[in-house]
Amino acid sequence: MTEAADRKHPMAEAVRAAYRRGEDDEAMLPLVKVDESGNAVGKIRGGDYVIFYDIRGEREIQLTECFTDPGFSHFSTPSGLLAHFATMIQYDPNLGVKVAFPPVSRISDTLCEVVTRSGLKLARISESEKAVHISYFLGGRRDEQFPNEDRVAIPSPEHEVNYDEIPEMSAAGVADAVIERIEDPSCGLIIANFANVDVVGHIENEKAILQAVASADEQVGRVVDAAKAAGVTTIITADHGTVEKWRYPEGAIDTGHTDSLVPFILVSPGGNIWAVRESGELADVAPTVLELLGLDKPDVMTGQSLLEGFNGAESSPRVLLVIVDGWGLNDDEYGNMIMKADTPVMDRLQRDCPFARLEAAGEAVGMPAGAVGNSESGHLHLGAGRRVYSDRVRIDKAIEDGSFLENDAFVWAMEGARRDGTRLHLLGIISFYSSHGSIDHLMPLMQMAKERGVPEVYIHGLLGRRGERPESGARYIGEVEAEAGRLGLGEVVTVIGRYWALDREYNWDRVEKTYRALVHGEGTAVR
């Protein structure tokens, strides 16, 4: 980038300077644009309008509450500073915001609902880092527990920034809780999630990843052995891939999710008497579990059981479904941390048991063709037993057909800012294809603000390099600054790592750092 370009894209160059200081996108400390007098530009003020354009939602709730809840008390906020908020999707029905793309509906007749409705007892077990996935998403976007349900969230270890110093996380605790339910004969279906392959896989620490993979393998072995001893049939699968493609072809590290197939392993307690299809998709898992349990599949479940030649009289009274989060399949050794790690249990089970490869990305999980998988869509499809189109697909279609530019929530925010003489703030992830959103959703909002004559537009970018090449955040910030220059409207005024902004475990000290950057202009000054 030339010196002239640096002046045009000051925030992009500030991000590059942060890289040189040893910071990365995920945990980047706040960068704040200031004027010649050193005053922060574009701070969010009471009465301003904000469009939080992130999707997914569960990590966006806390930051939204800071600006919209009149009784907010988790940290000090200026008296009366409430903003008019619009969000891309519904983060939480209790937030006082306009929602651009409201949820279509909760999904009924999911695996969990059918099993509990039959009178069987259900247990769902994970560590807290993945509790929302095995509860809300696996349950068809439903938080409430079903009758006959036991839900367990083992606390994830406390950590500063990343889990690379504790790559085993709480996998052993999850296994202990699973074994306890296996030993309870009243539990008809046990669903467990082992989180550490996915969570640690997002960190650039090869040793830690190898330890995480080995730890997950060890704990899977423990629960499989306990299930076999108790006469429980086990299914082992994953929600998406991660570390089996940990390097780009030129050698750079890829910390994101992948488009890989994932395993489906069937372990029968009395020997491998059943056969399975060689291929399928995540939506086929729920019908398979129901067939094993001798329960009828509801008509809305379009997934097909993976069992072949199965006699209903052979049904199993109890099933354990194990989700090894982030465990993808890749026959190539290059950059394959799963192949490189010590995994005797999964190696043996894949070799000796009925085995299939399942699609866990793209259209198979309701995403655009070619999109990588993620934990939300993965768990949703494992529970729903049918394809469910994602918010991203709905938004992308709205951009294509032009209805995005007429969306009531966006019009309300932009016309309100213009009418009230206040400012419009666009807040969200700045990434090519994060599960939290896309730069392709930000750009149409900038164009729409220009067309509607909004006088002041400020952009607050969140960075997080998952599935992106090293130092890609600076490039994307530069692209946004270039588009603002082309439109003659908008400035990137805040940049901060998503670690500080997108929290879901009530670490309010992190969220406060983001809030203070957005409202008080606290951070490294950028001119």
Average of per-residue pLDDT across 183-199: 97
Following CA atoms 322, 326, 329, 331 in sequence, which dihedral angle do they give, to the nearest 10 degrees?
Answer: -140
In whole numbers, what is the pLDDT of the chain averaged over residues?
94
SS (H, E, C) 448-484: HHHHCCCCCEEEEEEECCCCCCCCHHHHHHHHHHHHH
Could you tell me which residues come within 8 angstroms of residue 67 by beta carbon, excluding any fewer than 6 positions away? Answer: 44, 50, 81, 82, 83, 85
* Residue ranges per structural domain of the chain: 3-102+393-526, 111-387
Residue 87 has pLDDT above 50, yes or no: yes
Buried b (16+ CB within 10 A) or exposed e, 253-264: bbbbbbbbbbbb
Q: State residue 161's pLDDT score.
A: 61
Q: State residue 310's pLDDT score.
A: 86
Residue 186: how many other CB atoms lie within 10 Å: 11
Residue indicated by tokens 């537009």? 457
Q: State residue 4's pLDDT score.
A: 42
State the angle between helix axes of 344-352 and 206-230 in degrees (0 to 180), rounded to the nearest 10: 50
47-61, 234-248, 461-475: least confidently modelled range? 461-475
| Comparison of pLDDT for 399 and 311, the residue scoring more | 399
pLDDT in tens, 143-178: 889 999 999 999 999 876 679 999 999 999 999 999
pTM of the complete model: 0.72
Q: What share of the chain is helix, strand, coil (3-state, %, to 5)?
A: 40, 20, 45
Average of per-residue pLDDT across 82-110: 93
pLDDT in tens, 196-219: 999 999 999 999 999 999 999 999
The rounded distance, in Å, linking the Cα atoms of 284 and 491 is 47
Find out if CATH 3.40.1450 is the number for domain 3-102+393-526.
Answer: yes
Average of per-residue pLDDT across 426-452: 92
Residue 71 has pLDDT above 50, yes or no: yes
105-114, 233-242, 317-326, 513-522: least confidently modelled range? 105-114
Q: State residue 7's pLDDT score.
A: 58
Please, how many CA atoms are within 13 Å of residue 306, restricted to the half-sphere of its CB?
A: 27
Residue 104 has pLDDT above 80, yes or no: no
Residue 427 has pLDDT above 60, yes or no: yes
Find out if CATH 3.40.50.150 is the number for domain 111-387.
Answer: no
Main-chain dihedrals φ then ψ at residue 366, nearest 5 degrees: 75, 15
Residue 37: how many other CB atoms lie within 10 Å: 5
Radius of gyration of the chain (CA): 24
| Comparison of pLDDT for 256 and 121, the residue scoring more | 121
Residue 229: how many other CB atoms lie within 10 Å: 12
Residue 375's pLDDT band (boundaries 50, 70, 90)?
Answer: very high
The rounded distance, in Å, linking the Cα atoms of 259 and 480 is 27
